C-alpha cells in the first residue's frame, strides 16, 4: 500500500502478466557439448538467431501489453 496525498491508503491492483511472456523468455537454445563441425556451427547460429528474433517479438509484445495496462490505469485514476 502507498499513502496518497490525503493520507488515505492507495491500493494499486495491476494485472499479472500473461504466462506467455515467462514461457517465451525462459526458452534457451541448447548448447552442444560435442565437438562442432562447421555445418553444426552454422545451424547453431541459425537457431540462436531464430531464438533472438522470437525473444525480440516477445519483448515488443510485452511492452505493448504494458502500455495498454498503463493507459487503462491512467484512465481509471
The string of pLDDT tens digits covering residues 33-68 is 999 999 999 999 999 999 999 999 999 999 999 999
* Count of C-beta atoms within a 10 Å radius of residue 68: 11
pLDDT at 11: 73
**Cα gap 36→44, rounded to integer Å:** 9
Residue 8: Cβ-neighbour burial (10 angstroms; 0-12, 13-18, 19+): exposed
What's the pLDDT band for 5 if we cut at 50, 70, 90?
low
The residue ranges of every structural domain in the chain are 19-26+35-77
Query: Which three cell numbers, joined as nine digits, stand for 32?
Result: 552442444
Amino acid at each position: 500500500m502507498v499513502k496518497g496525498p490525503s493520507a488515505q491508503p492507495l491500493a494499486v491492483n495491476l494485472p499479472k502478466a500473461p504466462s506467455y511472456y515467462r514461457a517465451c523468455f525462459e526458452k534457451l537454445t541448447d548448447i552442444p557439448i560435442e565437438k562442432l563441425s562447421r555445418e553444426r556451427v552454422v545451424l547453431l547460429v541459425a537457431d540462436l538467431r531464430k531464438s533472438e528474433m522470437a525473444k525480440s517479438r516477445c519483448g515488443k509484445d510485452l511492452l505493448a501489453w504494458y502500455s495498454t495496462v498503463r493507459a487503462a490505469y491512467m484512465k481509471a485514476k
